[in-house]
């Protein structure tokens, strides 16, 4: 049975904790901002070191979704759900049924979707308990669109930083080659890039090896591997005062959420002359795809066209950042904040 506790956290509209000792999980749903519409964000399942760490993650992720959805000009707000459990031992069907009950308590103010360690099949179980579920409709798995959006972002970075219109011959180091990172590696390989890849999951590397020729490096060595573009496609917080001095790249652009451990790390990249593409601008393809099925008939080509606009959005950010002599992440934040604050004023 679910037991709910509402938390009062400054800067967030609603944060609720759900404890279920029968199934064996603790979950949180965080709505950061709904000025542009109901909050949409995926469900991350992870065995965190402790519950405080899980709470910090859901807060960071839901805030990131507000900025991502606003910058993509979507009529939705930012939210997220995080489930703290051991996914290898928990009764998966019972857990996602309980998560469906949890989502239903928000009465449409939060829309759930798949994310790390949650699948389309899991969302089908959630949908048995609530209608406020995305990705189980016509749009399907968002990962191909997330990967395509990162590919468009890399093209923008190369155009701006390297003054090149093609990716031919460039070397890209991809950190994490799961659903999104693996698809990105395929897109880049087809565009004649040299791929370097790492992953803590050897199965992901083995699957990719059947489709792409690439150089493998151990996870700890990806930061010190020479490349043109470093593409973080795993978990967040990997750009920090330890890793940034070690980077041997000109561009950072990847799908991982919350890549900067702190805002100061964006400044560190800027001082080093490394072009950083703000992660929530880069990885918006999945949510753009999902938004194309909300309240309308889904059209795949329309979703792909909207996702391709990530390239022009980033070029706008980079040009403004250069004009103002500011790091790109600062400009992106200002633009996103204007977009979700203006909706509130209207």
Q: What are the backbone angles phi and psi of residue 236, rounded to the nearest 5°?
A: -90, 180
| pLDDT for the residue 139 | 64
Tell me the per-residue pLDDT of 323-333, one tens digit each, with 9 for 90 and over. Answer: 999 999 999 99
d(CA 138, CA 78): 22
Q: What are the backbone angles phi and psi of residue 170, rounded to the nearest 5°?
A: -75, 150
Instruction: Classify the phi-psi angles of 24: left when phi > 0, otherwise alpha if psi is within -120 to 50, otherwise beta.
Output: left
* Residue 2, burial from CB neighbour count under 10 angstroms (0-12, 13-18, 19+): middle
> Is the pLDDT at 102 greater than 70, yes or no?
yes
The answer to whether the Cα torsion of 66, 67, 68, 72 is positive or negative is positive
Per-residue confidence at 296, pLDDT binned at 50, 70, 90?
confident
Between strands 25-33 and 14-20, the pairing is antiparallel
| pLDDT for the residue 73 | 92
Q: Is residue 25 within 8 Å of 87, Cβ to Cβ?
A: no
| pLDDT for the residue 257 | 87
Looking at residue 160, what DSSP letter applies?
I
d(CA 341, CA 29): 22
* Residue 104, burial from CB neighbour count under 10 angstroms (0-12, 13-18, 19+): middle
Delineate the domains of the chain, giving CATH numbers in brackets. Answer: 3-62+77-127 (3.40.50.10860), 143-341 (3.40.50.720)
Mean pLDDT along residues 159-186: 96
Most confident of 108-117, 126-135, 144-153: 144-153
* Residue 154, burial from CB neighbour count under 10 angstroms (0-12, 13-18, 19+): buried
Instruction: Classify the phi-psi angles of 226: left when phi > 0, otherwise alpha if psi is within -120 to 50, otherwise beta.
Output: beta
Q: Taking Cα atoms as reference points, which of 297, 277, 265, 322 lies closest to residue 149? A: 277
Between strands 229-232 and 215-216, the pairing is unpaired
| pLDDT > 70 fraction of the chain, expressed in percent and rounded | 97
Q: How far apart are the first and last CA of the chain?
A: 41
| pLDDT for the residue 294 | 78
Per-residue confidence at 141, pLDDT binned at 50, 70, 90?
confident
Q: In this structure, what token pair is assigned to residue 65?
A: 């979704």
Q: In this structure, what token pair is assigned to residue 322?
A: 């250069």
Mean pLDDT along residues 224-245: 95
Looking at residue 159, what DSSP letter applies?
I
Average pLDDT of the chain is 94
Per-residue confidence at 341, pLDDT binned at 50, 70, 90?
confident
List helix spans (H) across the chain: 51-71, 92-104, 120-127, 143-157, 179-190, 202-209, 263-272, 279-282, 285-291, 300-308, 310-324, 328-345
139-143, 171-175, 205-209, 229-233, range with the lowest pLDDT: 139-143
Tell me the per-residue pLDDT of 307-318, one tens digit each, with 9 for 90 and over. Answer: 999 999 999 999
72-76, 112-116, 272-276, range with the lowest pLDDT: 112-116
Crossing angle for the helix pair 310-324 and 300-308, to the nearest 10 degrees: 10
Mean pLDDT along residues 160-182: 96
d(CA 221, CA 231): 14
d(CA 251, CA 286): 22
> Is the pLDDT at 183 greater than 80, yes or no?
yes
Per-residue confidence at 83, pLDDT binned at 50, 70, 90?
very high
Enumerate helices (H) and strands (E) in the chain, giving the number of each. Answer: 12, 12
Per-residue confidence at 344, pLDDT binned at 50, 70, 90?
very low
| pLDDT for the residue 137 | 61
| pLDDT for the residue 346 | 38
Q: In this structure, what token pair is assigned to residue 164?
A: 């090149």
Tell me the per-residue pLDDT of 205-221, one tens digit each, with 9 for 90 and over. Answer: 999 998 999 999 999 99
Q: Is residue 305 within 8 Å of 327, Cβ to Cβ?
A: no
Mean pLDDT along residues 134-145: 76
260 CB-side CA count, 13 A: 21
Mean pLDDT along residues 128-139: 81
Catalytic residue ranges: 80
Tell me the per-residue pLDDT of 251-270, one tens digit each, with 9 for 90 and over. Answer: 999 999 889 999 999 999 99
Crossing angle for the helix pair 179-190 and 143-157, to the nearest 10 degrees: 50
Per-residue confidence at 293, pLDDT binned at 50, 70, 90?
confident
pTM of the model: 0.87
């Amino acid at each position: 049975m679910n037991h709910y506790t509402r938390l009062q956290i400054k800067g967030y509209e609603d944060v609720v904790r759900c404890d279920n000792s029968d199934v064996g999980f603790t979950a949180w749903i965080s709505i950061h901002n709904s000025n542009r519409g109901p909050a949409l964000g995926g469900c991350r399942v992870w065995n965190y070191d402790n519950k405080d760490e899980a709470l910090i993650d859901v807060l960071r992720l839901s805030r990131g979704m507000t900025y991502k959805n606003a910058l993509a000009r979507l009529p939705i707000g930012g939210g997220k759900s995080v489930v703290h459990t051991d996914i290898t031992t928990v009764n998966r069907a019972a857990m996602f049924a309980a998560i469906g009950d949890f989502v239903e308590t928000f009465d449409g103010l939060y829309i759930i979707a798949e994310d790390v360690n949650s699948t389309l099949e899991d969302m089908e179980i959630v949908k048995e308990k609530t209608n406020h579920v995305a990705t189980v409709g016509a749009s399907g798995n968002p990962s191909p669109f997330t990967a395509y959006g990162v590919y468009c972002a890399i093209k923008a970075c190369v155009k701006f930083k390297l003054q090149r219109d093609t990716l031919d011959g460039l070397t890209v180091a991809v950190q994490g080659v799961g659903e999104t990172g693996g698809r990105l590696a395929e897109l880049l390989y087809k565009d004649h890039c040299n791929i370097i890849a790492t992953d803590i999951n050897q199965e992901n590397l083995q699957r990719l090896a059947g489709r792409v020729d690439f150089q493998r490096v151990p996870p700890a060595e990806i930061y010190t591997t020479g490349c043109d573009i470093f593409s973080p496609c795993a978990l967040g917080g990997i750009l920090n005062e330890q890793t940034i001095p070690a980077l041997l790249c000109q561009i950072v652009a990847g799908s991982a959420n919350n890549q900067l451990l702190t805002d100061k790390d964006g400044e560190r990249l800027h001082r080093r002359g490394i072009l950083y593409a703000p992660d929530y601008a880069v990885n918006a393809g999945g949510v753009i795809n999902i938004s194309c099925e909300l309240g309308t008939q889904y059209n795949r080509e329309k979703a792909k066209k909207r996702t391709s606009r990530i390239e022009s959005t980033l070029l706008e950010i980079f040009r403004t950042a250069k004009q103002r002599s500011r790091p790109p992440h600062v400009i992106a934040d200002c633009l996103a904040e204007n977009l979700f604050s203006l909706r509130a004023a209207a």
